[in-house]
């Protein structure tokens, strides 16, 4: 287990992280649906059950519909001010999705150059002040690798992999993990729109995160 006693893990991202999380003022306090129905809740459950003595605190700072430029705008208040020990960045799906959802509204797009440059800024701002910064690749639950959105998403996932190697950061390759699962399951068993996972999908994401946390 890589975690140390009393550490705080902060997850930041879009709707897949958000999943109707609580918005109350004391975000450490227990409340129904505190972390929503996302993988964050599943990670917290596993850490609480299996590593009770560590007393790990979990923060969910996901906001639906966010792109990387939205994360940059709220980075100080939603990440830096909380002084977490670990930060997981999971962003990029909307950056690609909106290029297909709004093909005639270029202002909504986050092109690869902006995505990479903004990601670099967040990494360079955060890495010196946390114990671990972990990147998570965006994904598209489409087994056909020639699908246009899958091709575009892979470009953004490659950016995350490359930045992780360049900055010597840990990363969770969700696209590769999903590809393995899609050899056994149909994508509609995991998601109705190839983006937002059901409970099976969120448990699978949590499993990939736990695999990283438990690795030596």
Cα 195 to Cα 71: distance, rounded to the nearest angstrom: 19
**In the chain, how many domains are there?**
1
The answer to whether residue 204 sits within a structural domain is yes
The residue among 82, 65, 52 whose CA lies nearest residue 13 is 65
The answer to whether residue 145 sits within a structural domain is yes
Cα 149 to Cα 129: distance, rounded to the nearest angstrom: 35
Q: Identify the pLDDT of residue 12.
A: 97
Q: Identify the pLDDT of residue 103.
A: 79
The answer to whether residue 110 sits within a structural domain is yes
The answer to whether residue 3 sits within a structural domain is no
Mean pLDDT of the chain: 92
Average pLDDT over every residue of 41-48? 94
- pLDDT surpasses 80 at 27: no
Average pLDDT over every residue of 198-214? 96
Of 199 and 1, the one with more pLDDT: 199
Count CA within 13 A, CB hemisphere, residue 124: 7
**Domain CATH for 65:** 3.40.50.1110
Q: Hey, CA dihedral for 74, 80, 83, 85, is it positive or negative?
A: positive
The answer to whether residue 1 sits within a structural domain is no
- pLDDT surpasses 90 at 21: no
Of 109 and 190, the one with more pLDDT: 190
Catalytic annotation, residues: 15, 193, 196
- pLDDT surpasses 50 at 32: no
Name the residue range of residue 161's domain. Answer: 8-214
Kindly report each contact of residues 95-101 with a partner whose C-beta sits within 8 Å and lies 24 or more positions away, as own/partner. 95/67, 95/68, 95/138, 95/156, 96/138, 96/140, 96/149, 96/152, 96/153, 96/156, 97/149, 97/195, 98/67, 99/152, 100/148, 100/149, 100/152
Cα 187 to Cα 94: distance, rounded to the nearest angstrom: 19
Q: Identify the pLDDT of residue 37.
A: 81
Q: Identify the pLDDT of residue 3.
A: 94
- pLDDT surpasses 50 at 100: yes
The answer to whether residue 62 sits within a structural domain is yes
Instruction: Give every strand in the sheet of 86-90, ordered side by side.
Output: 57-60, 8-13, 86-90, 132-136, 170-172
Cα 90 to Cα 69: distance, rounded to the nearest angstrom: 13
Percentage of residues in the chain having pLDDT higher than 70: 93
The answer to whether residue 2 sits within a structural domain is no
The model's confidence at residue 93, banded by pLDDT at 50, 70 and 90, is: very high
The answer to whether residue 127 sits within a structural domain is yes
The model's confidence at residue 106, banded by pLDDT at 50, 70 and 90, is: confident
Cα 151 to Cα 112: distance, rounded to the nearest angstrom: 13
What tens digit of pLDDT does each residue of 126-179 get? 999 999 999 999 999 999 999 999 999 999 999 999 999 999 999 999 999 999
Cα 194 to Cα 84: distance, rounded to the nearest angstrom: 31
The model's confidence at residue 61, banded by pLDDT at 50, 70 and 90, is: very high
Strands (E) in the chain, as ranges, are 8-13, 57-60, 86-90, 132-136, 170-172
The model's confidence at residue 109, banded by pLDDT at 50, 70 and 90, is: confident
């Amino acid at each position: 287990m890589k975690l140390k006693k009393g550490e705080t893990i902060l997850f930041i991202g879009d709707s897949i992280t958000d999943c109707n999380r609580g918005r109350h003022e004391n975000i450490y306090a227990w409340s129904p649906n505190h972390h929503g129905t996302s993988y964050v809740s599943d990670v917290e459950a596993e850490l609480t059950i299996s590593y009770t003595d560590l007393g790990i605190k979990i923060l969910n700072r996901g906001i639906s519909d966010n792109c990387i430029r939205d994360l940059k705008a709220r980075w100080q208040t939603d990440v830096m001010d909380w002084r977490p020990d670990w930060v997981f960045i999971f962003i990029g799906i909307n950056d690609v999705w909106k290029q297909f959802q709004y093909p005639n509204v270029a202002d909504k797009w986050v092109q690869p150059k902006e995505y990479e440059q903004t990601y670099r800024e967040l990494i360079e701002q955060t890495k010196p002040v946390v114990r671990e910064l972990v990147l998570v690749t965006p994904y598209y639950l489409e087994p056909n690798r020639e699908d246009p959105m899958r091709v575009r998403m892979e470009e953004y996932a490659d950016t995350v992999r490359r930045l992780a190697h360049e900055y010597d950061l840990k990363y969770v390759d969700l696209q590769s993990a999903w590809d393995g699962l899609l050899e056994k399951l149909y994508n509609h068993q995991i998601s109705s729109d190839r983006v937002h996972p059901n409970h099976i999908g969120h448990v699978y994401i949590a499993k990939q995160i736990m695999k990283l946390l438990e690795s030596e």
